[in-house]
Amino acid sequence: RRHLLGIEGLSPDEIVGLLDLAEEFVVLNRQVEKKRTTLRGRTQINLFFEASTRTQSSFEIAGKRLGADVMNMSVSTSSVKKGETLIDTAATLNAMHPDVLIVRHSASGAAELLARKVDCSVVNAGDGAHEHPTQALLDALTIRRNKGRIQGLTVAICGDITHSRVARSNILLLQALGAQVRVIAPPTLLPKDIERFGVEVHGDMRRGLEDVDIVMMLRLQRERMNGSYVPSVKEYFHFWGLDEAKLRYARPDALVMHPGPMNRGVEIDSAVADGAQSLIREQVEMGVAVRMAVLDALSRTLPGNSSNA
Ligand code: CP
């Protein structure tokens, strides 16, 4: 494939292939010398129209460790601020002959639109409430490394499902690899078309967490709540925040995940986020390895690559 626009459309074999490749980069990243030459001579542009800590920095590190020249486009000081459109911005960058464009945008479908307008590979680093494929891949790698499998696990995704691209990509990936997925959310933060995802839906946190192997917490995406009901922090934490008492309803060996950024005391208590069952720091480490795997896999499709099929 030339682009990575979403988990939708990837086969289970393609997903497992990327996870297996990422395992090699986990080993490399723990060594003193971390550089490869896979992308030597190639140009990677990170084009983030929305804020990011983890995704942007790990794509930059991933590209550099594979030998690419990486340019972080500063959208806040770019001509986007003067009214230049997404398409014109992409066409401008395309004229500079990049090989890979990593894009994050507030609009669902933005990455796919760009992929049709530019000559290089496009990776979706999060488009609106649609997909965040590398987040789902790094979550799957973290789960597989800790549980030894994904098939047959029960995973609860909790919180603001409506506005979450992380939830969508994770539901697609986890189901593709044979996990049972539950969502636990207030009715106001559940998508109207939740039935089409084929997940078990719970409105009560304690009932929803029973016998769960993985608890995946989500942030309230207030920036996407245009006029919809926004609960108070105190109310939300009381009913939907993961603390040690609620976590005891899950399996004793359940593990806790969060894509970040976390809002401590809103959707997750610090005692859980920093506790023995938390995988949150490991998720960040896996993010670099997964993004290296994605760039490595895409590099095989670039013009001039001898392994280009
Ligand atoms: N999980 C995630 O996408 O984090 P950032 O917004 O910091 O990139």
Residue count of the chain, please give it.
Answer: 309
Ranges of residues in the chain whose predicted pLDDT is under 70: 227-230, 306-309
Residue nearest atom 6 of ligand 1, based on CA coordinates: 52
Ligand 1 centre to CA of 57 (Å) is 9
> Which candidate, 132, 138, 98, 139, places its Cα nearest to that of 117?
98
Q: Which is nearest to 70 in space by CA: 302, 295, 303, 304?
A: 295
Quick one: pLDDT at residue 256? 98
Q: How many angstroms separate the CA atoms of 95 and 9, rounded?
A: 29
Whole-number Å distance between alpha carbons of 174 and 183 = 13
Residues 141-199 have pLDDT tens digits of 999 999 999 999 999 999 999 999 999 999 999 999 999 999 999 998 999 999 999 99
**Residue 103, C-beta contacts closer than 8 angstroms, at least 6 positions apart:** 47, 48, 49, 110, 111, 114, 122, 123, 124, 125, 127
Q: Please give the ipTM for the structure prediction.
A: 0.97
Ligand 1 pocket, 133 CB below 6 A? no
Structure token pair of residue 150: 């994904």
pTM of the model: 0.96
Q: What is the pLDDT of residue 229?
A: 63
- Residue with CA closest to ligand 1 atom 5: 52
Question: Could you list the active site residues?
Answer: 54-55, 82, 104, 132
